[in-house]
Amino acid sequence: MCQPVVVTKLSGEMDKPLISRRLVDSDSSLAEVPSEAPKVGILGSGDFARSLATRLVGSGLSVVVGSRHPKRMVGLFPSAAKVTFQAEAVGSPEVIFVAVFREHYSSLCSLSDQLAGKILVDVSNPTEQEHLQHRESNAEYLASLFPTCAVVKAFNVISAWTLQAGPRDGNRQVPICSDLPEAKRTVSELAHAMGFTPVDMGSLASAREIEAMPLRLLPGWKVPTILALGLFIFFYTYNFIRDVLQPYVQENRNEFYKLPLSVVNTTLPCVAYVLLSLVYLPGVLAAALQLWRGTKYRRFPDWLDHWLQHRKQIGLLSFFCAALHAVYSVCLPVRISYRYNLVNLAVKQVLTNKSHLWVEENVWRMEIYLSLGVLALGVLSLLAVTSLPSIANSLNWREFNFVQSTLGFVALVLSTLHTLTYGWTRAFEESRYKFYLPPTFTLTLLVPCVVILVKGLFLLPCLRHRLSKIRRGWEKDSAVKFTLPMDHALAQKTSHV
């Protein structure tokens, strides 16, 4: 604590509405701000302070910056902002942004008297280590140093770049929290005036949660990405052994040129296909568990719960691999190795006196599997597009469920047909078993076929009916009568709900 005065009332200056006039001249430079515009102070003259000052001036506010070295910094700020010493800067504004790092908060204690009764906006972000080290958030620490001030946590999730570029180019939401509702309202209006969307996060106790937000790095993606990488490494190694190592060891053929493109292209569809089946496998397991337990009111094991929650990310990674596979496949005929092989084949044909090379079965097989592949990718693209929040928000639950569940399953069936027509009879040809390893496509078929099969089983009336009863609250070994509505009327059974 810097000094023991208790805050009584925030100044009446802040009762005035904060105007949101943009003061940008036609030549895009910032014009002079009228002297009567609400004044906002900034402590610190670093990157964040500069971007903040630019945005505040652009939003029609009068800005005064407090620096330890104002002369050195003045040239870096918009001309409409006043850059002065810290003590002078905090004199008149009622809202002061503290754009300094936590470790330097205590150096501001000499300003305690001037800051008494003002709103201090804590914009700081801790590092991951600091966040773990301190149980108290930066904002709470600031509040403990300045008990006479109303501390508000805000703007920490907005980068200096977004502030400078404007809210159209980046995150718009500004989570705000404070123990003083009036101070929170004032900072929310300020955020509005700057073009951002304030999000009320409650009391200052939420500051730790707000400070943790910028520390997150794609939280839902870690496990799905590791899973996709694991599958990629497995299938790449498997394909390498079959397509490159085996010809080298057993036939003395050097096919290492296949490593960057050809092997990658045979690996990607395997990963995409297995990942897609892993989107639907947890649903099948959950349904099986519910059927076995005869209730939906018992929690799933944690691993299944997590798996169910990561389905969207796994599905998007599947789409990503499938899209890459499509692009790689289009590139195949462009390769010089492909042209050499084609010419060699033509020469061989001439030498063996074969004039017309046309195998009807192969032609049909390829036409069909390419078409099925394109269709599967098309349906997968629909799934990917509808998982974007803006699109998902425009769909009702039934529409969303139809696309993600029904169309998703259609994509899985199409991919299975694509794989089967690609493989054709190869699984039964002895020459296809390299080092006794079966063709890769046979491995990829395992999980998807199980998923499709079990899903098919769940369509049997006895299982479907029992499952829909369970999902409506019916429980095994119960004493209460449970009747399904109309179309399930036949399903009247004894239960206790």
Residues that bind ligand NAP (CB under 6 A): 44-49, 67-69, 73, 99-101, 104, 107, 123-125, 156, 159-160
| Cβ neighbours of residue 178 closer than 8 Å, sequence gap 6 or more | 150, 151, 152, 153, 184, 187, 203, 204
- How far is it, in rounded angstroms, from Cα 399 to Cα 383? 12
Least Å distance, CB 211 to ligand NAP, is 9
Give Cα 184 distance to the centre of its chain.
Answer: 29
DSSP β-bridge partners for residue 82: 64
Nearer to ligand NAP, 101 or 300 (CB): 101
E strands within 391-474? Answer: none
Tokens of 203: 């009391």
Least Å distance, CB 486 to ligand NAP, is 57
* Closest to 166 (Cα-Cα) out of 190, 193, 195, 191: 195
E strands within 142-181? Answer: 150-153, 173-178
Nearer to ligand NAP, 51 or 387 (CB): 51
Report in angstroms the alpha-carbon separations of 246 from 237, 238, 425, 440: 12, 11, 21, 14
Nearer to ligand NAP, 99 or 177 (CB): 99
Least Å distance, CB 384 to ligand NAP, is 31
- How far is it, in rounded angstroms, from Cα 182 to Cα 205? 17
DSSP letter for each residue of 181-221: HHHHHHHHHHHHHTT-EEEE--SGGGHHHHHHGGG---GGG
Least Å distance, CB 156 to ligand NAP, is 5
Asked whether 98 and 124 are in contact (CB, 8 A), the reply is yes
Tokens of 387: 């998982």
Nearer to ligand NAP, 125 or 148 (CB): 125
- How far is it, in rounded angstroms, from Cα 9 to Cα 15? 12
Nearer to ligand NAP, 68 or 365 (CB): 68
Nearer to ligand NAP, 49 or 152 (CB): 49
Phi-psi region of 375 (alpha: psi -120 to 50; beta: other; left: phi over 0): alpha
Residue 126, Cβ neighbours under 10 Å: how many?
A: 21
Nearer to ligand NAP, 68 or 455 (CB): 68
- How far is it, in rounded angstroms, from Cα 328 to Cα 330? 5
Least Å distance, CB 94 to ligand NAP, is 20
Least Å distance, CB 41 to ligand NAP, is 13
Least Å distance, CB 136 to ligand NAP, is 15
Helix, strand, or coil here: 495?
Answer: coil
DSSP letter for each residue of 319-378: HHHHHHHHHHHHHGGGSHHHHHHHHHHHHHHHHTT------HHHHHHHHHHHHHHHHHHH
Asked whether 321 and 271 are in contact (CB, 8 A), the reply is yes
Least Å distance, CB 90 to ligand NAP, is 12
Pairing of strands 82-85, 62-67: parallel
Least Å distance, CB 150 to ligand NAP, is 19
Nearer to ligand NAP, 47 or 179 (CB): 47
- How far is it, in rounded angstroms, from Cα 269 to Cα 423? 13
Least Å distance, CB 282 to ligand NAP, is 38
Nearer to ligand NAP, 125 or 495 (CB): 125
CA dihedral for 357, 362, 366, 367, sign (positive or negative): positive
Least Å distance, CB 24 to ligand NAP, is 22
Ranked by CB distance to ligand NAP, the top (closest) residue is 46
Least Å distance, CB 73 to ligand NAP, is 5
